[in-house]
Structures are given as structure tokens and as C-alpha cells.
Amino acid sequence: MIRFYVGRHESHGQAMEKIWRFRHEQFVERLGWEALRRNDGLEIDQFDHDRALHLALFFKDTVVGYTRLLPTTEPHLLSDVYPQIVKGQAWPRSPEIFEWTRCIVAEGQILINGVSASHVLMTGVMEFCLVAGITSVIVETHPKLVQLLVSTGWSVTELGPPSLLNGVLIVPIQAKPSMSGLRKHHQLYSIEGSTLLLEPEARNPLKPEATLHHLHYCEFMAKRDLQADRG
């Protein structure tokens, strides 16, 4: 299941340390992002602030997948690190629009209830956006991932032409989630029920006065599966 955390609150310190170590293992040791290397083995950057949203896929108490969502109303990668890829044009900013970054799954064929960990994580991102009321995400990514997002139900708009960044082809996009897109994820990847572990007291990061609840579609799928098991 995917657990979500806001900021670096002490109440989930142990989970966040697992996340920081997983990020260091994946992005520094595996992918070679040497600029992020730290002696303590934790990958933390300037955007891991109090409003950053962390989605971590756990399997047997081990982090096997992770991604981060950053509010576009505050400094983020596109605004502060590489704004040049939008060629001087403005990009979407709103309390309901987040930047999607640091998305990765551990190496190996990791199956969760028979479903690839990468498929669970990608489905979880769309589901979380719908649950929290995030209307769209901006992503700076390779054109191949853009094709994947389109094929799995995201509505994608390019924010600029592809360009080279450190020798890698990158295109900035805006991607919008939808219930039809989530259904497509479930059908393509044979996912039943929700991918999210939402605690009863989990607050909505966009609306702190409200709690987060599973989507009716996911609840229906879970009940259907339970009935099938009993029948």
C-alpha cells in the first residue's frame, strides 16, 4: 500500500528516514546523481519543506517505490532549478496544481498482490490526486514517459518543446487526472480496490479542515472483491 506524508513532521520520522535512504540508494547509488550524495546516506534537498507531499510504496515494511508532489505556489524544480526549459513562458501555478518529481521504484520484479510495484505507484499517484483534489500536475520528463501517461489515461498538455538538459531529452508537461483515467489504470494493471493507505485522521493537505477519504469507485471494487472471495 501507498502511504502519504506531509513535510518532515517528527511524528513520522522513522518512515521519513526510510524514504530518505531509499532516495539516496536509488538516485545517488543506482542512477549516479552525485551532486546529491551525502555522507549520512540520506537524500534530502531544498524542496523537502513542510508542504512537500511524499507518497511511499511499502512492501513488508520496506520502501520499494516513492514519488514526491510539490506545491507550485512555492519554489519547486521548474521555478528554481531549470525554468529555461519552458523558454521564458509562464507555467501553471495554483494551490490545486503540484509538481510531480522523484518518481522511482526499486530494481527487480517486485509484485504486490500480483501487480508490478511500478504499476501500483503510478496508479496511486492518480488516485491520490483525485482524493486530495489536485487538479493537475506539472512534470519535466522524457518524451517516453509522456507517451506512457497518455496511454494510461492522463490528459496531457505540453508546456514547451523538448530540449536537452544535461544531455537528456526533457519535455515539460501538464497532466490532469480523471476518474476515467483511474479506471483505465485499474483495467490495464488488474488492480482491485484502493492503492492508498489512508489513516482515519488523515488531513487533506489542500484543505486541512477536511479529512481524506477513499474514492467510492475504489470502495466499490474492494467490496466486490470481498464478496467474490466469500462466494
Query: What is the pLDDT, as a whole number, of residue 97?
Result: 97
The set of residues, in sequence order, having a beta carbon less than 8 Å from that of 141 and lying 6+ positions away, is 170, 171, 173
Query: What is the pLDDT, as a whole number, of residue 89?
Result: 83
Using alpha carbons, select from 134, 156, 149, 159 the residue that is nearest to residue 55.
134
Query: What is the pLDDT, as a whole number, of residue 220?
Result: 52
Report how far residue 115's alpha carbon sits from residue 123's, in angstroms, rounded to the nearest whole number.
11
Q: Do residues 92 and 157 make contact, with C-beta atoms less than 8 angstroms apart? A: no
Report how far residue 53's alpha carbon sits from residue 132's, in angstroms, rounded to the nearest whole number.
11
Q: Residue 146: phi, psi to the nearest 5? A: -60, -45
Report how far residue 3's alpha carbon sits from residue 131's, in angstroms, rounded to the nearest whole number.
13
Query: What is the pLDDT, as a whole number, of residue 9?
Result: 65
Q: What is the DSSP string of 139-199?
A: EEE-HHHHHHHHHTT-EEEESS--EEETTEEEEEEEEE--HHHHHHHHHHHT--S-SB---
Show the cell assigned to 29.
Answer: 547509488
Query: What is the pLDDT, as a whole number, of residue 7?
Result: 86
Q: Is the pLDDT of residue 96 over 50?
A: yes
pTM, full prediction: 0.90
Using alpha carbons, select from 133, 132, 134, 152 the residue that is nearest to residue 144.
152
DSSP 204: P
Q: Is the pLDDT of residue 61 over 80?
A: yes
Query: What is the pLDDT, as a whole number, of residue 94?
Result: 96
Q: Quote the percentage of the chain above a pLDDT of 90.
A: 68
